[in-house]
């Protein structure tokens, strides 16, 4: 979503990033959902990556105004996704790390995190998501805090990790240990997201060997390390991308997509490849 908004002319502000478009250009958010559906997507993700009170507070708003703005932005995001979809599609409610996805050291602590995740999770469920997508998670502790809360809402849960290298998540903890932790919860799907292709390739085998349920990848198409502002100057070729998709399918992956730098065309590539 963020890459598409930028590609289509949006300037995304600091802190709230793509959440700004829920207010200022909702028709574009809706159209991007529709375009992805037309390209063959079976799942679409709500534009709620930064619809959090914590993110809005950083824009200078008071605590109460931050909560109100975040709630309104989230409501708009989920309603736009619902408007774009049909009975055959599922809506993933995106929940990201509370601070910077690439800085696990900023995790605010378990109790604070649980309170904030509880609020965000409740808002998403109230608006009618089908699945929680706890994505770009960078540490075991924050992932656990979120799972402890959203498990109580009794809807399916997917968890996706961002990596430091092919064997470790961004916190430096082992990917296999993160997978073992989530086995204590009723998680339906494990994913790897926002990782460059070369990092994704080697990590896929770890997921395949250590996770028995559904799993998948939606890699970052940018060459080099992920960009915090979403601006990507150079991406991997379509041939390189499909090669990774092919490898993941052979390992047993059944959820496929793209993160930053990807486009609707990458979804078309997948649908054409597996047809």
Distances (CA, A) of 215 to 139, 150, 172, 204: 19, 19, 22, 9
What pTM, to 2 d.p., does this model score? 0.96
What's the pLDDT at 224?
A: 79
In whole angstroms, what is the distance from residue 175 CA to residue 156 CA?
22
Structure tokens at 219: 């890699």
- b/e string for 202-218 if b means 16 or more Cβ within 10 A? ebbebbeebbeeebbbb
- For 98-147, write each residue's pLDDT tens digit: 999 999 999 999 999 999 999 999 999 999 999 999 999 999 999 999 99
What confidence score (pLDDT) does residue 233 get? Answer: 81
Return the DSSP state at 12. P
What pLDDT is stored for residue 227 in this prediction? 72
pLDDT confidence bin for 228, thresholds 50/70/90 = confident
Whether 257 has a pLDDT exceeding 80, the answer reads yes
Which residues span the domain enclosing 142?
2-274
Helix (H) or strand (E) holding 235: none
- Nearest CA-CA partner of 267 in 76, 111, 33, 104: 33
**Nearest residue to 197 via CA among 141, 262, 139:** 262
Mean pLDDT of the chain: 96
Q: Report which of residues 232 and 271 the model is more confident about.
A: 271
Overall domain count for the chain: 1
Furthest-apart CA pair in the chain: how many Å?
51
Q: What is the pLDDT of residues 25-35, one digit of tens each?
A: 999 999 999 99
- Dump pLDDT digits (tens) for 155-179: 999 999 999 999 999 999 999 999 9
Q: Check which CATH number belongs to the domain holding 104 and give it.
A: 3.20.20.330
pLDDT at residue 178, as a whole number: 98
* Cβ neighbours of 75 (radius 10 Å): 17
| Strand segments (E) across the chain | 43-45, 90-95, 131-137, 157-161, 163-165, 168-169, 189-193, 214-218, 255-256
């Amino acid at each position: 979503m963020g890459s598409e908004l930028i590609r289509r002319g949006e300037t995304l502000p600091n802190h709230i990033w793509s959440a700004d478009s829920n207010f200022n250009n909702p028709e574009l958010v809706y159209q991007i959902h529709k375009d992805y559906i037309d390209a063959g997507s079976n799942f679409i993700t709500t534009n709620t990556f930064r619809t959090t009170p914590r993110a809005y507070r950083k824009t200078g708003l008071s605590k109460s105004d931050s909560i109100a703005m975040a709630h309104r932005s989230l409501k708009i995001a989920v309603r736009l996704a619902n408007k774009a979809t049909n009975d055959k599609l599922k809506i993933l409610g995106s929940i990201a790390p509370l601070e910077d996805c690439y800085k696990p050291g900023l995790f605010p602590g378990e109790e604070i995190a649980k309170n904030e995740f509880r609020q965000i999770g409740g808002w998403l469920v109230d608006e009618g998501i089908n699945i929680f997508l706890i994505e770009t998670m960078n540490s075991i502790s924050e992932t656990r805090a979120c799972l402890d809360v959203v498990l109580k809402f009794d809807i399916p849960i997917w968890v996706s990790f961002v990596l430091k290298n092919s064997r470790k998540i961004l916190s430096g903890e082992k990917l296999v240990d993160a997978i073992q932790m989530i086995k204590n919860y009723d998680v339906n799907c494990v994913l790897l997201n926002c990782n460059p292709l070369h990092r994704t390739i080697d990590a896929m085998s770890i997921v395949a060997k250590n996770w028995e349920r559904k799993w998948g990848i939606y890699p970052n198409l940018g060459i080099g390390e992920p960009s915090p502002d979403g601006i990507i100057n150079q991406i991997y070729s379509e041939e390189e991308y499909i090669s990774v998709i092919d490898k993941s399918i052979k390992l047993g992956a059944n959820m496929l997509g793209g993160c930053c730098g990807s486009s609707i065309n990458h979804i078309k590539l997948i649908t054409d490849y597996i047809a």
